[in-house]
Structure formats: structure tokens, C-alpha cells
Structure 1
Amino acid sequence: MKPDEDLPRHSVSVSGIVVRDDGRILAIKRADDGRWVPPGGVLELDETPFEGVVREVFEETGVKVEPERLTGVYKNMKQGVVSLAIRCRPVSGEPDLSDEATEVAWLLPSKAAEAMPEARAVRVADALRSDSPFLRIHDGTSLL
């Protein structure tokens, strides 16, 4: 069967839920929409999800991480984006600004929950649980 070029395609992204030893979560304030979110982005065709999360977190924050485990799969039903949330631990580097981040901070989980849209905050909450991975759908802001 020949693939139909007119059919929409999914995009796959990764979110790094970086948890420091003191329990704080690495977060960025996005340059494009001003929202606080975990660092992440589109997975390249030639990289694994773990390689992608290491690259994206470093590009956006200057922090090198070691991926630990997949904690959730989240689909934006409006945009067709599937995001893989991966819990990571920081290895080296200090948070710094980038083209994509106007602020970078280590937030308490409670502050992350307040600052982030529900669809992003749930990724942090899920990564802190031991019974993950979770499968959730959202509209870009709220869970569905």
C-alpha cells in the first residue's frame, strides 16, 4: 500500500524531567510563548529518545543530564505531537539562557505545578511517581 502524502504526520518530541538530588526540577521559560515548561524538543530522525533528551536539555539549559527512565507518553490532540517524558539526573553544568529560554530555574515541584500549564505540570508529577509510565492526552494546555 502506497503511503498517502496528503495524510498528516505525527511529530515526536522529548521532555527532560531533570530532578536534582534536593528534589528541585529544571524548568525553562520559553522564549516563544512565555510558558514555564520542562526543557525538550523535537526528536531528530537519527537519534534515540535518550540521545534526544540529552541534546535538547543541554541546548536549552547548558545542563548535561543522564537519562534514567521513560515516565510518560503525552499526545497533543490538536497538533499531533507525541512527547516522551524522560526522567533525568543532572551530571554537570550550570543553568544558562538560550535562544529558546528567557529564564532557567530549579523549581520546587509545587512551584513547577503552579507555574506550568497542566499538560506540562503533569509530566513533572508523573516523573516523581514510582508507578509510571503514564499515557495521557491533552490539547496543548489542559488534559483531556
Structure 2
Amino acid sequence: MAISPYILDLREHVGHDLLLLPSVSAVVVDEDGQILLLRRADDGRWSLPGGAVDPGEQPADAVVRETYEETGVHVAVEHIAGVALHPVAYPNGDQCQYLNVWFRCRAVGGTAGVNDEESLAVGWFSLEELPEVNPYVRLRIDTALGDGGAAWFARPGERHEALRVPDAL
């Protein structure tokens, strides 16, 4: 589903004004150490599976659901890898800031492929052969593949380049 009924209802009230929304994303690793990426339908860029958390939904449940909906891959959540506020400006003028929690996940079933209208392509990539990704995608991959210690977050006052206000998608 491209946009939830909950967000559509909010947009009826606020128009294109800023919405702060909870979201999740998955850094999915297979048994060969490859990373699951999808090519987004809205901007053609390679990214991680993920999306908005529905009202009443726990973030770990949302990341399992979103990963399957977008890629056809079933995952087991291993741990939280990071959390950050990430701004997005959509081509239609909608403004959002996503409070994103990203998880390191392990593929446990399913077959990788385009599973909804949000993706143009889905594939597994070795770290050495990743397609071009933006700094925010790279930050989430790098932190998820780290030592598995504490989750990454921007320290007080830190202005990480990957979290800057972007141009429109």
C-alpha cells in the first residue's frame, strides 16, 4: 500500500504541511551476507525496505510487515541498529519528518521480488557491489552491520550529513 488511510486522513486536515511520522526500515542480510535493496517507484533510487508504522503497531511488527509487503521476503528481527529523524520532501509538496527506527534483520523465507507498486526492482547485493545509494541508506547499512552493540543515534548537537534536509525525492 503506497499511503496508509491514517496518513491520507491527516493530509485532508493539514494539506502539504509538515507531518512527524513514526517509521521503520530493515537492513536485511541473507545467509551469504548479501543486503536486500529495492528500487523505489517514486524516485528510481535504491533503498531499504521500510515504511510508516500504523497506529497501534509495534515498530518490530511494522518492519516485518513492510519488508514482506515490499519485497516478498520474510524476516526475523535481530536488533535495533539505529534511530534518527529524517526529513523528506515529496514531489507533490508533502513535507514529512520520519522518526525512523532501523533494524538489522535476517532473511528467513520468501522470494525476493517486486511485491507491490512501491518498488520497481528488488535484489540482493554484496557490500562490494552495492548500487549507488544515498548517504542515509549507507548510514543505516553501516550501522546495522557494525558490532551489534548499542543502537546508533545522532549525538546531541550533531548534524550528520546523511540527515540533512533533502531536495524533493
TM-score range, shorter chain: 0.7 to 0.9
Residues 117 and 141, structure 1, Cα contact 8 Å, conserved in 2? no
Say what the alpha-carbon RMSD is for the aligned residues. Answer: 2.2
Report the Cα offset of residue 110 of structure 1: 3.2
* Residue type of the alignment partner of 1:121: R
Residues 119 and 141, structure 1, Cα contact 8 Å, conserved in 2? no
5+ residue gaps, structure 2? 1-12, 89-95, 155-159
The correspondence of residues 19-58 of structure 1 with structure 2, limited to 5 A, is: 19-58=29-68
Q: Match of 1:104, SS? A: strand
Match of 1:16 among 20, 26, 30: 26
**How many matched pairs?**
137
2:100 is aligned to 83
2:75 is aligned to 65
Q: Match of 1:133, SS? A: coil
2: distance between equivalents of 1:115 and 1:140? Answer: 20
5+ residue gaps, structure 1? none
Classify 1:8/1:102 alpha carbon distance in 2 versus 1 (closer, same or farther; 3 Å).
Answer: closer
CA offset digits 1:40-67 (Å, max 9, x no partner) = 0001111111100000000000011111
Report the Cα offset of residue 8 of structure 1: 5.2
Identity percentage of aligned residues: 33
Residues 37 and 121, structure 1, Cα contact 8 Å, conserved in 2? no
**TM-score using structure 1 length:** 0.86
Classify 1:88/1:140 alpha carbon distance in 2 versus 1 (closer, same or farther; 3 Å).
Answer: farther
**TM-score using structure 2 length:** 0.74
